[in-house]
Amino acid sequence: MAFLANACNPGVVTGSDRPLAGTRIFAASQLGAGPWALSLLSDLGADVIKIEPPGRGDEARNVPPYAEDGDSLYYQALNRGCRAITLDLRQPEGRAVLRRLVPSCAAVYNNLRGGEPERLGLTYAALADVHPGIVCCSLSGFGQSGPRALEPGYDFLVQAYTGFMSLTGEPDGPPVRSGVSVVDFAAGILSMLAMMIGIQRASRTGVGAEIDVSLFDTAIAMLNYLACWNLNRGWEPARTRSSAHQSVVPAQTFRTADGFVVVMCMKEKFWERLCERLERPDLRADPRYGTFADRYEHREALLADLSAEFRRRSTEEWLRQLRGIVPCGPVHDVAEALADEHTAAREMIVEVDHPVFGTLRQTGTPMRFAGVQPIHVHAARLGEHTDEVLTALGGYGADEIAELRSRGVV
């Protein structure tokens, strides 16, 4: 109740009053999908303790460019705020250490391929005897069952498997993957949500859970209305010109006199307003374009007409004419998106001090709680908190830790 009380006053909640303060998660996570989701929980107060193999750590530490001395900007972008320990879960002694630490946490998270969580002792079946309320969440490429469960899975592969690439790009070009790892990030968010649901249920019932989330399932689910059309009416989606919506017209990119603008008439009122702003009452009066269905049927003629209109003015002129009236926007590059005035107003660029890289500018936390200020801390060095965690949470003495270290367990 402390958080609720503080959220009602004008002060800013920090430290022990942040929403997830007191929630501890051990994470055998690597690369992108899982670590990013967990870093957002860390921003909001969760104690996320990242488990990495001794010696080499997460492969993300060596991803170029800007990688040096077992750290990289890629790693920093995805692991903000997490404490780091090294623990070799391939060894029985490493798994024994985990079992000794588990009673101190609410969840154990991993994003390893199918079969690995069981082999490394990260499942509910392996840990329930020492902590019946433990929530064990696995995020993998293809899930913990099925014919591809044991295969490694990555965003690019899953976009290929699940039809995403067949829908992306121009009709006369090759299949294209999204420039951002959308499946990775979406699956990471879903795994985080599932884990937090499991933690909430465990706090109520005392019973933990085994949770299985995959990139493949996430991507299939994201096909959503396209899948519904295909499964029920045999509709076959395909790549569209100018990144157009599959069925709503006009909703696409248009070339302007000096660039591109995206216009989205997702409601009938927006189509009517577009005609007014174009000073083309004839388009609104044309029976070929009266409804969504009409415009879709006669889209070739309509889009040819609209394309000619949009080429007559610059992108900035069209934005002044349409913004706030018809959903529209420029096609920014990454630097322009990061420098956008709305990005700044939403405080989506934050600064994090790092002992080697200096002041790092990173994207911020997209989840906002009234009165709560996220705390952003740089990602830890490999094994930086091993001794601290083993001592405080496992009750290990200095001699025990030295012995584990001599045998390569930590």
Fold identical between 2-222+349-406 and 260-330? Answer: no
**Length of the chain in residues, anyone?**
410
Q: What is the pLDDT of residue 173?
A: 92
Is the pLDDT confidence value at 2 over 60?
no
Q: Which residue has the higher pLDDT, 224 or 113?
A: 224
- Rounded to an integer, what distance in angstroms lies between the CA atom of residue 369 and that of residue 94? 38
Q: Is 239 left (phi over 0), alpha (psi -120 to 50) or beta?
A: beta
**43, 47, 155, 184: which one is catalytic?**
184
User: Residue 208: which of 282, 272, 132, 142 has the closest Cα?
Assistant: 132
The backbone torsions φ and ψ at residue 210, rounded to the nearest 5 degrees and listed phi first, read -110, 120
Residue-wise pLDDT for 16-26, tens only, equals 678 999 999 99
**How far apart are the two ends of the chain, measured CA to CA in Å?**
38
> 263 and 322 in contact (C-beta within 8 Å)?
yes
Query: Which residue type is seen at 326?
Result: V
**DSSP letter (8 states) at residue 351:** E
CA angle 245, 290, 311 (to 5 degrees): 55
Token pair, residue 104, equals 């101190």
Confidence of residue 244 (pLDDT cuts 50, 70, 90): very high
- Rounded to an integer, what distance in angstroms lies between the CA atom of residue 188 and that of residue 181? 11
Residue-wise pLDDT for 314-336, tens only, equals 999 999 999 999 999 999 999 99
Helices 92-101 and 386-394 pack at an angle, to 10 degrees, of 60
Q: What is the DSSP string of 265-290?
A: --SHHHHHHHHHHTT-HHHHH-GGGS
Query: Which residue type is seen at 100?
Result: R
- Give the mean model confidence (pLDDT) for residues 242-256: 95
> 107 and 199 in contact (C-beta within 8 Å)?
yes
Specify the 3-state DSSP secondary structure of 86: strand
- Rounded to an integer, what distance in angstroms lies between the CA atom of residue 288 and that of residue 269? 17
Token pair, residue 108, equals 């154990």
Is the pLDDT confidence value at 403 over 70?
yes
Q: What is the pLDDT of residue 356?
A: 85
The residue extents of the domains of the chain are: 2-222+349-406, 260-330
Residue-wise pLDDT for 73-116, tens only, equals 999 999 999 999 999 999 999 999 999 999 999 999 999 988 89
Which residues have CB under 8 Å from 377's CB, separation 6+? 42, 80, 81, 352
Token pair, residue 168, equals 């992306």
Confidence of residue 13 (pLDDT cuts 50, 70, 90): very low
Q: Please tell me the CATH superfamily of domain 2-222+349-406, with its number.
A: Crotonobetainyl-coa:carnitine coa-transferase; domain 1 (3.40.50.10540)
- Rounded to an integer, what distance in angstroms lies between the CA atom of residue 87 and that of residue 53? 6
User: Residue 361: which of 372, 348, 342, 343 has the closest Cα?
Assistant: 348
Is 340 an annotated catalytic residue?
no
Indicate yes or no: pTM above 0.85: yes
- Rounded to an integer, what distance in angstroms lies between the CA atom of residue 86 and that of residue 346? 36
Q: Please tell me the CATH superfamily of domain 260-330, with its number.
A: formyl-coa transferase, domain 3 (3.30.1540.10)
- Rounded to an integer, what distance in angstroms lies between the CA atom of residue 93 and that of residue 120? 11
Q: Which residues pair with 261 in a beta bridge?
A: 254, 330
- Rounded to an integer, what distance in angstroms lies between the CA atom of residue 271 and that of residue 244? 15
Distances (CA, A) of 364 to 30, 81, 189, 343, 352: 20, 12, 15, 10, 10
Distances (CA, A) of 406 to 100, 120, 122, 328: 19, 21, 24, 61
User: Residue 199: which of 26, 377, 372, 17 has the closest Cα?
Assistant: 26
% of the chain beyond a pLDDT of 70: 96
